[in-house]
């Protein structure tokens, strides 16, 4: 039921709070209710656009942003949202033009807006273009640690590792508690085999700073190799506990259902084999028209190339990552999705290998060649 006592600003504020909590459905309900009373409230249309965007409803998001821009053609948040939506449709030139319009209107001093645009471009793999907006943010706020760190991440993605290393150090000089930049720098130094420097930075993080296992495994390895700690050293316990927290929890009911599904699959496979034997001659003729699974090629952040089906590629990435114990593809994708979220703020689906890889590419974590 509509609540006429609320102003359009109050509707927008309440929806914004729901959005920040990740409750996009209720935020959208609140915004629709507000628009029923205030159809010309630009902020409510913009809010609908971002709620739709968060739900991957890109066509509806685009419509909402365009409706907002009809009411206010110079609304910076609507322009940023429309540009991000255009990227999702693969309309890169139009998106870049929309983002440029924000600069033309004089919003370069809006640090958060510059970072938002930069992150959208970064997720789309437009790293050089993203770096430009991150650098604009740094020009406006030279001590803004997050903006400096984003420049460093872009430099690393562009292969400018030495520059990235110095930039991340500058971000930490601006804010020594910027855990994400410190972890990123630690991993970068580890990759360059500067192990003592990597240990210096990783050892200055807390377990709760980590949202993927990679940095923790490396820190524990360096503590054992450089500080001569034993596997059962008490100081490693908090890191082992964090690893356990990050590992996917297997519910007993899920285990039971998985076992039932496995048995059903085995039964189905047995029936299929019987059918194959019965109709072998017919199937032999049909197999001539059956195509082999489509092959793909993916390049990881480390430059390693993976070929095969989507599942084979994820399996290859899992095997290359290693670890203390074997992991299923689902467990690996969930761990990588958490790591990707920590680096980019993008939620990566893990329902299947193709969705996982395509979303990871959108987040700028890998490249799909074909």
> Can you tell me the mean pLDDT for 274-297?
55
| pLDDT tens, residue by residue, 337-359 | 877 776 776 778 888 898 889 98
| pLDDT for res 226 | 87
**Cβ neighbourhood burial of 118 (10 Å; 0-12, 13-18, 19+):** buried
| pLDDT for res 198 | 93
| pLDDT tens, residue by residue, 158-183 | 999 999 999 999 999 999 999 999 99
| pLDDT for res 289 | 42
Round to whole Å and give the CA distance between 341 and 338: 5
Let me know if residue 226 belongs to a domain.
no
Nearest one of 92, 89, 38, 90 to 68, comparing CA atoms = 38
User: Does the pLDDT value for residue 48 go beyond 60?
Assistant: yes
| pLDDT tens, residue by residue, 242-266 | 988 887 654 555 555 566 666 655 6
| 342: containing domain | 294-370
Let me know if residue 66 belongs to a domain.
yes
| pLDDT for res 135 | 97
Q: What is the DSSP string of 299-317?
A: EETTS-EEEESHHHHHHHH
Residues 308 and 321 reside in one and the same domain = yes
User: Does the pLDDT value for residue 116 go beyond 60?
Assistant: yes
Is pTM beyond 0.75 here? no
Residues 32 and 88 reside in one and the same domain = yes
Residues 88 and 22 reside in one and the same domain = yes
Question: What is the token pair recorded at 290?
Answer: 């059956």
Q: Which residues are paired to 306 by β-bridges?
A: 298
Q: Which residues are paired to 305 by β-bridges?
A: 299
368: helix, coil or strand?
A: strand
Number of domains composing the chain? 3
Let me know if residue 142 belongs to a domain.
no
Q: Give the pLDDT band (50/70/90) at residue 5.
A: confident
Let me know if residue 113 belongs to a domain.
no
**Are 360 and 366 contacting, i.e. CB atoms less than 8 angstroms apart?**
yes
Residues 348 and 298 reside in one and the same domain = yes
297: helix, coil or strand?
A: strand
- 280-to-23, 286, 321 alpha-carbon distances in Å: 54, 10, 42
Let me know if residue 366 belongs to a domain.
yes
| pLDDT for res 207 | 93
| pLDDT for res 274 | 57
Question: What is the token pair recorded at 347?
Answer: 């939620």
Residues 307 and 260 reside in one and the same domain = no
Residues 367 and 354 reside in one and the same domain = yes
Out of 107, 132, 157, pick the residue that ends a domain.
107
| pLDDT for res 252 | 52
| pLDDT for res 360 | 87
Residues 283 and 300 reside in one and the same domain = no
The H or E element spanning position 168 is: helix 161-174
| pLDDT for res 257 | 57
Task: Look up the CATH number of the domain holding residue 75.
Answer: 1.25.40.10
> Can you tell me the mean pLDDT for 90-117?
96
| pLDDT for res 250 | 47
Residues 285 and 299 reside in one and the same domain = no
Residues 298 and 283 reside in one and the same domain = no
**Are 80 and 95 contacting, i.e. CB atoms less than 8 angstroms apart?**
no
| pLDDT for res 6 | 86
| pLDDT tens, residue by residue, 119-153 | 999 999 999 999 999 999 999 999 999 999 999 99
How do beta strands 305-308 and 366-368 pair?
unpaired
Q: Give the pLDDT band (50/70/90) at residue 288.
A: very low
Most confident of 91-100, 227-236, 318-327: 91-100
- 77 CB-near residues (< 8 Å, 6+ apart): 46, 113
Let me know if residue 206 belongs to a domain.
no
- What DSSP character marks residue 351? S
323: helix, coil or strand?
A: coil
Let me know if residue 180 belongs to a domain.
no
Out of 58, 87, 107, pick the residue that ends a domain.
107
Kindly report which listed range (123-127, 281-285, 331-335) carries the lowest average pLDDT score. Answer: 281-285
Let me know if residue 352 belongs to a domain.
yes
Percent of the chain with pLDDT over 70: 84
Residues 260 and 300 reside in one and the same domain = no
| pLDDT for res 83 | 97
| pLDDT for res 331 | 81
| pLDDT tens, residue by residue, 77-88 | 999 999 999 999
| pLDDT for res 343 | 72
Farthest CA pair distance, the chain: 75
Residues 338 and 263 reside in one and the same domain = no
Out of 80, 107, 134, pick the residue that ends a domain.
107
Residues 10 and 97 reside in one and the same domain = yes
């Amino acid at each position: 039921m509509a609540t006429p006592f609320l102003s359009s600003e109050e509707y927008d504020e309440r929806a914004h709070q729901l959005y920040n909590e990740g409750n996009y459905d209720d935020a959208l309900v609140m915004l629709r209710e507000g628009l029923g009373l205030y159809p010309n409230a630009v902020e409510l249309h913009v809010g609908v656009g971002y709620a739709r965007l968060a739900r991957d409803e890109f066509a509806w998001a685009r419509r909402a942003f365009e409706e907002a821009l009809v009411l206010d053609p110079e609304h910076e948040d609507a322009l940023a949202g429309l540009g991000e939506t255009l990227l999702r449709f693969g309309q890169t030139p139009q998106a870049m033009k929309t983002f440029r319009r924000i600069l033309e209107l004089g919003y370069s001093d809006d640090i958060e807006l510059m970072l938002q645009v930069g992150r959208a471009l970064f997720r789309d793999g437009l790293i050089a273009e993203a770096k430009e907006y991150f650098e604009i943010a740094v020009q406006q706020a030279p001590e803004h640690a997050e903006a400096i760190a984003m420049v460093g991440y872009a430099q690393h993605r562009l292969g400018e590792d030495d520059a990235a290393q110095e930039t991340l150090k500058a971000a930490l000089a601006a804010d020594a508690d910027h855990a994400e930049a410190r972890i990123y720098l630690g991993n970068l130094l580890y990759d360059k085999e500067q192990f003592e420097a990597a240990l210096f930075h990783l050892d200055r993080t807390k377990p709760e700073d980590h949202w993927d296992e990679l940095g923790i495994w490396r820190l524990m390895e360096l503590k054992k190799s450089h500080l001569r700690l034993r596997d059962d050293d008490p100081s490693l316990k908090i890191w082992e506990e964090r690893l356990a927290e990050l590992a996917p929890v297997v519910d007993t009911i899920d285990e039971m259902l998985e076992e039932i599904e496995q048995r059903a699959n085995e039964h189905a496979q047995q029936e299929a084999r019987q059918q194959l034997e019965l109709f072998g001659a017919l199937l032999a003729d049909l197999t001539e028209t059956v195509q082999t699974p489509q092959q793909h090629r993916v390049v990881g952040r480390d430059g390693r190339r993976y070929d095969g089906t989507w599942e084979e590629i994820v399996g290859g990435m899992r095997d290359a990552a290693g670890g203390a114990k074997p992991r299923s593809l689902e467990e690996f994708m969930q761990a990588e999705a958490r790591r990707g979220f920590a680096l980019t703020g993008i939620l990566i689906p893990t329902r299947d290998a193709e969705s996982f890889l395509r979303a990871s590419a959108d987040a700028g974590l890998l490249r799909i060649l074909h």
